[in-house]
C-alpha cells in the first residue's frame, strides 16, 4: 500500500510541475527535466528510508525504487512528448 501511495504522490507532483510550467509558458520538455530530477530525489529518499529505517536491504529496495521512479516518470515523459 505504501508503494501505491508514493506513486500517487509522484503523480500529484507531476500535475503540480506541469501546471506551473503551463501557467508560466515553459515547455513541457523543460518541465519534464525539472520533474525527473525532483522525483528522482524523492524516490531515492524513499529508498534510503527503506534501507536505513525499515530494515530492508538495497537488493530488496531496488525493484521498488524502479517502480516508484519509473511509473510516474514514464508518464511524465510520455506527456512531455505528446504536449510538445
Please give the average pLDDT of every successive group of 10 residues along the chain, which has 84 residues. Answer: 96 98 96 98 97 96 97 97 90
| DSSP conformation class of 27 | -
Q: What's the pLDDT score for residue 46?
A: 97
Q: What's the pLDDT score for residue 31?
A: 97
Helices (DSSP H) in 25-57: which residue ranges?
Answer: 28-52
Q: Which residues, 6 or more positions from 12, have their beta carbon under 8 angstroms from its beta carbon?
A: none
Q: What is the spatial distance between Cα 73 and Cα 38, in angstroms, rounded to a whole number? A: 10
Q: What is the spatial distance between Cα 35 and Cα 10, in angstroms, rounded to a whole number? A: 9
Q: Which of 31, 2, 27, 4 is nearest to 16 (CA)?
A: 31
Q: What's the pLDDT score for residue 13?
A: 98
pTM: 0.93
Q: What's the pLDDT score for residue 84?
A: 80
Amino acid at each position: 500500500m505504501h508503494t501505491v501511495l508514493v506513486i500517487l504522490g509522484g503523480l500529484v507532483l507531476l500535475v503540480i510541475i506541469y501546471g506551473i510550467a503551463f501557467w508560466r509558458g515553459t515547455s513541457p520538455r523543460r518541465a519534464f527535466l525539472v520533474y525527473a530530477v525532483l522525483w528522482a530525489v524523492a524516490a531515492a529518499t524513499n529508498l534510503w528510508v527503506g534501507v536505513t529505517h525499515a530494515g530492508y536491504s538495497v537488493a530488496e529496495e531496488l525493484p521498488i525504487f524502479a517502480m516508484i521512479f519509473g511509473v510516474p516518470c514514464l508518464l511524465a515523459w510520455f506527456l512531455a512528448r505528446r504536449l510538445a
